[in-house]
Structure 1
Amino acid sequence: MPKHPVLGEALSVISGGGDMLSSDGPQWKVWRSAFNPGFSVAHLMTMMPTIVDNVATFAQILHKHAVNNELFRMEHHATRLTIDIIGKIVLDDDFNSQLVEHPLVTAFESQVRWMKIVPVMQKPLQIFNIFRPFVQWWNQRQMDTGKKKHVIDLALETYLKENNVSGDTTKLDPKFKDAALRNIKVFIFAGHDTSSSTICYCHYQLSQHPKALARLRKECEDIFGTDVSKTGDMIKADPYLLNRMRYADAVVRETLRIFPPGNTVRAGAADFFISDPDTGERYPTDGWLLWSHNLGHMVNPDLWGEDVYSFRPERWLDESNSKGAANRDAFMAFAKGPRNCIGQELAMLETKMMLAMTRQFDFHEAFAEVEKLKNDGSGYPSSLSGVQEQFGEKAYQIQLGTAKPREGMPCRLSLVNK
């Protein structure tokens, strides 16, 4: 089924429209084919040294917060980490936004706040601001001129080969260059926005489940040794060590199952009906937006068992399990089929690396202290009034571009006491 037009409208604030994420048919196929090589595991392994350096910077920032017992929002730092990584992967550009402000990164963060999928009541003055078109135009200009206008080499090579285009990139059709830029901006948005949320929730879930955290640390020590500071260099020397992190892989997948950062929307059709499994009644979909409810799907006890709301990474390691993790269609965090998430391998690799290189910290959620973060420039309400839990969960998700942790995951860190 085709993507619903509302997705293209929402992403137009970022890409200007016509991007791979919201397009269908031949247009989508051309760009998916062009970008596939750049997101293959083989290519990503060659990029591991760069990713290690960015994660090392992230760990240094967390160390400063830990030794000073500082209250902060994890989501901000996780976002800067992942946007630095995706910027290097896609643009071969060192944003270094974890340490200094970068105009392109600032433009992206501002532009996301204007996306139409952000709830209107959350940002009423901004949504209806008379200067909104001018702010969008300025941010768009910053994103277009802030970097050389080219796609990654592998994407160019694939496009040139499959479309019989001259190898002289200076003579490429301007429409091609424009389309490439649109897709690059979507990659930067989608590639950092979802992964940053997952990083936050991995730390949160492990802090709530000490046995899982202990098992993760034991796995990391078995692979990398007890000196955390050597982990990055070991990964640089042999990136495939990350493949041995089976329990860490299970932790990330279980986190994504309970806190999926994204969904997909499709357009209904005259010949497509939804049937009630209990009554058999059929409902027409023509003219309707169909929302794939990943969260509901991944906490369905018929698929995952009665412990569906329990954080249990072990479910992913039980080869005899006939439900959930062993059912190829039960896990929808990266979608399924040919239109699955092109960046899923990168997301898994960078998150596992982050877990290995930050295992020296204990995470402590600090939602009760959120009012101390008022006026920190984050845009979060920082309030202890109103709804503080959803379904018994303090760290419930809010829609802000993608699904993010409430209040940006306020927390404190401490160094592990050995």
Structure 2
Amino acid sequence: MFVQTILLILLPLGVSYFISRIRYSRFQKYADWPQLPPSLIWGHMKALHEFIARGEERRHIDIVFQEIQEHLGNPPLILYDLRPVQFRLCVVGSHEVAEQIARSSKSFPYSMKKSPTMGALEPLLGPHSIITQQGEHWKGLRKRFNPGFAPQHLVTLLPCILDKAIQFTDILDGYARSGEEFSLDERCVSLTFDIIGAVTMDKDFHAQLDRSKQDELVRLYRELTTTYRRGSSVQWDWLDPRLNWRRRTLSRRIDQLIAEHIKLKFAELKSKSTEKRSRSVLSLSLQDIDQLNTQVIQETCDQLKSFLFAGHDTTSVVLQWTFYILSRTPRVLDKIRRELDDLFGPDPSPAAVQEKLLAPGGEELLKRMSYTSAVIKEVLRLYPPSGSARYMPPGSGFNVQLPDGKTLCLDGVVIYLNATLVHREEKVYGPTKDEFIPERWLGNTDTGLGLIPDSAENQGDGDGSVASAHVPASAWRPFERGPRNCIGQELANLEARVILACTVRRFDFEKVGVGALARDATGAPILDAAKGQYEVETELFNTMQVTAKPIDGTVVKVHLAERAT
């Protein structure tokens, strides 16, 4: 009886204490942070859901974050309390704050740690991925694989990239003859998967052929990435055990295939009879390996999985958006075609481009693709495929200073460096932050390769350009910045330049469905003279499929350009 009495007394006290701690955590602890009105029970999940429900529910969460940021008056960061379902989340939309988090410091020489939420991508990347590893282990991986992504090495891979690009243009020729609608995402993913397979593994995946003829690894990887497609802006995948089991099953089979290939290439590398040694990323990474044990195989396998995913995804997204935006922006399309004519001559055929790039001086032509590079840079600004998630454990004492001088401690909060928000920061990009203006980069068109010289001839030409001198380097971060920047950014940029050189003058793309051009009574597209773009029936937008991709797979028709007929 005595014990029961004590329990009856302590129970309400315990409940009261628990509620008071929740109240403190929800309403007081982060009271000075920019945020939506919190709920005692739901934190910010209810308010976030209300914003999602205001628009197309399939839109990417970055679009929702952008709407909330504007609603709150464009603060440099916003807190989202998603407990108990997820961590507290800090979404960063200021380049100044993002730079403090991403850069190297005395306490964190390799930048802030990656977020534990990255664990959801383990089936895609592996447990030892260079994308998720920390500290000295990450440093060792970066050092081991850097030679395969060095710019001077990548230029030697031009013949391979061009061969795959010409196969791509042959496929587009077929669609132009048939008039058939097709998914540009499907074709661009196949192209970039072929390239990344050849570059990293010295393996022909046959990804651009019919599915029945594709390598098993391609089919499995496509199936695995499909499991990450989302039907709404927010989705709790970890609550679906069947989905996670399917991902693990596919991942294990992919591991087996890659491990077999690693063993094959290691044997070739150590064989004295090999006439021509492979220069793939894999082969270069194995040069200093004396014994191929289980640990080396697993670690190498995870890096190849990471390169296959990141290497095909970014470039395919950039190509889709570039082809689409050029089809909407005749002024820019005309300028990029004129630049390519000046560099490669009047023949728009891919074979002519191939001949020029593989001849002596071909690398110099890449350095002179200034306007093409500005187009790529502007597409990556408006439609970055992803951001970066970081985390600092409680007690670390990691503080950032906001633009107004206020200091906030980010311990115990997942930090999302949101490139979409940073790239549309009005105080940096001004009133044209949402507009496609490649000229804003002229004079600073390097997209990562270091191939494009900044010169006086690259300055703005009166087309509404925004001087690049006013854009801080930290305000453009599609490949992130600091020590943890993307190891493959040079390859992505090289691919994009080469593929655009082979396609832009030969083909005209016509969007079908979402994002299709609006037309007048005569069937002619309607030009918005102020923006220099054709109007559309509905705006094309990104959805979430691991990264940000156009919602419908970019369904298009393609036609031979007038000069190519």
TM-score (norm 2): 0.64
Alignment correspondent of 2:60: none
Q: Contact between 2:124 and 2:251, CA under 8 Å: does it hold in 1?
A: no
Check 1:63–1:107 CA distance in 2 against 1; reply closer, same or farther (3 A cut).
same
Which region of structure 1 is more displaced relative to structure 2, 260-269 or 85-94? 260-269
Q: Secondary structure at the match of 1:363?
A: strand
Within the candidate set 361, 364, 375, 2:510 is matched to 364
Which region of structure 1 is more displaced relative to structure 2, 302-311 or 189-198? 302-311
> CA offsets, 1:170-213, max 9 Å, x none?
x2332112101111111000110111110000101111110110
Q: CA deviation at 1:326?
A: 4.8
Within the candidate set 320, 323, 334, 2:479 is matched to 334
Q: Secondary structure at the match of 2:227?
A: coil
Q: Partners in 1 of 2:239 and 2:325 — Cα distance? A: 33
1:233 aligns to 2:363 (yes or no) = no
Check 1:221–1:298 CA distance in 2 against 1; reply closer, same or farther (3 A cut).
same
Q: Partners in 2 of 1:344 and 1:212 — Cα distance? A: 24
Q: Contact between 1:4 and 1:265, CA under 8 Å: does it hold in 2?
A: yes
1:272 aligns to 2:398 (yes or no) = yes
> CA offsets, 1:311-331, max 9 Å, x none?
111111146766577522221
Alignment correspondent of 2:451: none
Alignment correspondent of 1:155: 285
Within the candidate set 324, 327, 330, 1:207 is matched to 327
Check 1:222–1:369 CA distance in 2 against 1; reply closer, same or farther (3 A cut).
closer
Q: CA deviation at 1:366?
A: 1.1
Alignment correspondent of 1:15: 125
Q: CA deviation at 1:142?
A: 3.7
Equivalent runs, 1:374-385 vs 2, <5 Å = none
Q: Contact between 1:304 and 1:324, CA under 8 Å: does it hold in 2?
A: no
Q: Which consecutive residues of structure 2, in runs of 5 or more, have no partner in the other structure?
A: 1-111, 266-280, 444-455, 460-465, 517-536
Alignment correspondent of 2:195: 85
Look up the equivalent residue of 1:267 and give its one-letter code: Y
Look up the equivalent residue of 2:148 and give its one-letter code: G
Look up the equivalent residue of 2:438 and give its one-letter code: P
Q: Partners in 2 of 1:98 and 1:143 — Cα distance? A: 22
Q: Contact between 2:514 and 2:538, CA under 8 Å: does it hold in 1?
A: no
Q: Secondary structure at the match of 2:432?
A: coil
Alignment correspondent of 1:172: 292
Look up the equivalent residue of 1:145 and give its one-letter code: L
Identity of aligned residues (%): 32
Q: Contact between 2:514 and 2:540, CA under 8 Å: does it hold in 1?
A: no
Q: Partners in 2 of 1:330 and 1:207 — Cα distance? A: 27
Alignment correspondent of 2:57: none
Q: Which consecutive residues of structure 1, in runs of 5 or more, have no partner in the other structure?
A: 161-166, 371-391
> CA offsets, 1:48-99, max 9 Å, x none?
1000000001111111112211111101100010011000010000111101
Look up the equivalent residue of 1:153 and give its one-letter code: S
Check 1:135–1:250 CA distance in 2 against 1; reply closer, same or farther (3 A cut).
closer
1:113 aligns to 2:226 (yes or no) = yes
> CA offsets, 1:233-273, max 9 Å, x none?
22222441222111101100000000001110000344124
Alignment correspondent of 1:33: 143
Q: Secondary structure at the match of 1:290?
A: strand
Check 1:367–1:275 CA distance in 2 against 1; reply closer, same or farther (3 A cut).
farther
Q: CA deviation at 1:148?
A: 1.1
Alignment correspondent of 2:96: none
Q: Secondary structure at the match of 2:261?
A: coil
Equivalent runs, 1:122-141 vs 2, <5 Å = 128=240, 130=242, 132-134=244-246, 136-141=248-253
Q: CA deviation at 1:276?
A: 5.1
Q: How many residues get paired?
A: 385
Check 1:125–1:152 CA distance in 2 against 1; reply closer, same or farther (3 A cut).
closer
> CA offsets, 1:358-383, max 9 Å, x none?
1211111112599xxxxxxxxxxxxx
1:244 aligns to 2:368 (yes or no) = yes
Q: Contact between 2:510 and 2:556, CA under 8 Å: does it hold in 1?
A: yes
Alignment correspondent of 1:289: 414
Within the candidate set 113, 127, 137, 1:2 is matched to 113
Check 1:127–1:225 CA distance in 2 against 1; reply closer, same or farther (3 A cut).
farther
Q: Partners in 2 of 1:263 and 1:38 — Cα distance? A: 24
Alignment correspondent of 1:43: 153
Q: Secondary structure at the match of 1:337?
A: coil
Q: Contact between 1:110 and 1:139, CA under 8 Å: does it hold in 2?
A: no
Q: Contact between 1:111 and 1:136, CA under 8 Å: does it hold in 2?
A: no
CA RMSD of aligned residues (A): 2.7
Larger radius of gyration: 2
Look up the equivalent residue of 2:194 and give its one-letter code: D
